[in-house]
Amino acid sequence: MTDSSTSRPEAASRPEAASRPGPTSAPSAPSTIAGAGLPAAPLTALDTAPVEARSLPDSPTTAAAVRSAGLRLRDLWLPAVTLDESALRHNLDRFARWCADQGADLAPHAKTTMSPHLWSAQLDRGAWGLTAATTAQARTMRSFGAPRVLIANEVVEEGQLAWIADALADPDFHVLCLVDSAAGVRIMESALADAARPLPVLLELGVAGRRTGVRDLDDALDLARLVAASPALTLAGVEAFEGVFPQRRDDDSPARVRAWLDRLLDFARRADTEGLFAGADEVIVTAGGSSYPDLVADALSSPPELSLPVRRIIRSGCYLTHDDLFMERASPLRSAVADDPLRPALSCHARVLSRPEPGRALLGVGKRDVSFDIDLPVPRALLRGDRRIPLDGAASVVELNDHHGFLDFTATGDAAPVVGDIVELGLSHPCTVFDKWPLIPVLDTEGRVVDAVRTLF
C-alpha cells in the first residue's frame, strides 16, 4: 500500500503557516491511548504536524508538543473541549468486552471521531475494521493504515469509484460498500470494469419514509440477483441501520426495531438458498448504531444455517465517549440499567463572562464549540480556584448563540455562578462535538493534560 501519511497533515504546507511561529520544539511523544492498532509512522507524522488549536496556549501547535508541555486544565484557553482519560479507556475496554460476550465483531463508525489516534485504540482492542460514512473518510482511514473499511453508503461518484478501483489493487487493504438500487449497480459496474478484483458489496435494507435502503424483501432479492450476476461486484452480505427509528427506550421504538431486524436474517437465508453469495468467503450481516446494539446482537444471535460462515458485525461509534444525555438515555450500557456502564468522556469547560440579570449568567461557549442538534449542554459543576462545586440540577443552559451560552440558575450563595468561574459542561451526541475541534487535550483525574488526539474532518 502506498504510504501517503507523510503528506497527510495539511497545516504545514499552507502558505500562512510559514510566516507564523511554529510550536515549541518537543520530542515526538506518542499517544498512550492510541496503542498499536494502526502503524506508528503515519501517527507520528500526524503528531508532529502543526495545527491551529484555539484551546491551547500556543497555536499553531502539535499533538506531540501538547503531550510534552506539562499543561493542566487551568492552562487551557476557554472554551475547551477535553477528553477524560479514565472514562475513555474504560469505554474502549467495556464495549470490546460487551461485543465479545455477544459473539459479534465490531466495526465502529469511525466518522464519530475522525481521529486516527482513537481509531488505533479501537483496532488495538480487536475491532474487525472501521466504518466510514463517505468515500473521503475511507480514503483518510486507508492513508493511516486501516486494513479494512466498510463504506456505509452506495458509492456512485465517478471519482470516488476510481479511488475504490485503485484500492482494490492493494492486497493489504479491503474495502466494502453498500448497494440499494439497480441504477447504482450499473454505475459501479461501469466504473469498476477494469478493477483488479470485484468489489464486495452489502445489500442495504431500509425503512419506509426514512433513509437509504431497499424497502421490500422481494425487491431486495431482485437486486441481489443483479449483483450476483455482475463480474465487477460480489454480494458479501446484508446491512441495515436501525438508528433511523426513534432512539429512545420509553416507547414502542425498541419493539419496532426488533421486528424490523428480523428482515436481515430472512434476506440472508433466502439469498443463500439461491446461491447469491457464491463469490464470497462468508456472509456479513451487520447493523447496530449506538442506541440499539443490544437489540441487533439479540436479533443476530441465532443466524440460520447457511452454506457459508456468517459474520455478525455491530457498528456502534458513540460508545467511545458516551455522553451525559442522548446516549445516556438510549444505550444499553447506560448508568440506569447497566452494572458496569459506559461513562461520559467528553466535557467542555467555559468561563462565566457576565451576570447581566438575576438568575442568568452568560458563558463563553456557543454553537461553534459544542453540540446542540439533540440537546443543549448540561452544567455539571462550577470550578472556582481549586474547588469543584456540583450544580446538581440547579442550573441549565437554555440557549446557545455562536459564541455565548445562556445559563439560567436557581442556585444561591456559594453555588451561584460569578464572573470568572468556570462551568464544567456535559455534552450530548459526540458526533457533533468532535468535528469542531482539530486537537483535543486528554485530562487525567487531577486535571493534567496527559495526551492529545487529532481529528481530521
What was the pLDDT predicted at 15?
A: 30
- In angstroms, the CA 319 to CA 317 distance is 6
Which tops the pLDDT comparison, 361 or 253? 361
How many other CB atoms sit within 10 Å of the CB of residue 294?
16
Mean pLDDT over 53-74 rounds to 98
What was the pLDDT predicted at 6?
A: 34
Q: How confident is the model at residue 209 (pLDDT cuts 50, 70, 90)?
A: confident
With pLDDT > 90 as the criterion, what percentage of the chain qualifies?
Answer: 82
- In angstroms, the CA 311 to CA 428 distance is 32
- In angstroms, the CA 350 to CA 343 distance is 21
Least confident segment among 242-256, 358-372, 434-448: 242-256
Q: How confident is the model at residue 257 (pLDDT cuts 50, 70, 90)?
A: confident
What was the pLDDT predicted at 14?
A: 31
Least confident segment among 60-64, 173-177, 224-228, 330-334: 330-334
Least confident segment among 304-308, 416-420, 433-437: 304-308
* CA distance readout (Å), 57 to 18, 54, 76, 197, 423: 19, 8, 6, 50, 19
Q: Cis (ω within 30 of 0) for the bond into 303?
A: no
Which positions ≥6 away from 234 have C-beta within 8 Å? 198, 199, 200, 201, 227, 279, 280
Q: Cis (ω within 30 of 0) for the bond into 356?
A: no
- On average, the pLDDT of the chain sits at 92
- 422 phi, psi to nearest 5 deg: -105, 135
Complete DSSP assignment for 126-166: T---EEESSHHHHHHHHHTT-SEEEEEEE---HHHHHHHHH
By residue count, the chain amounts to 457
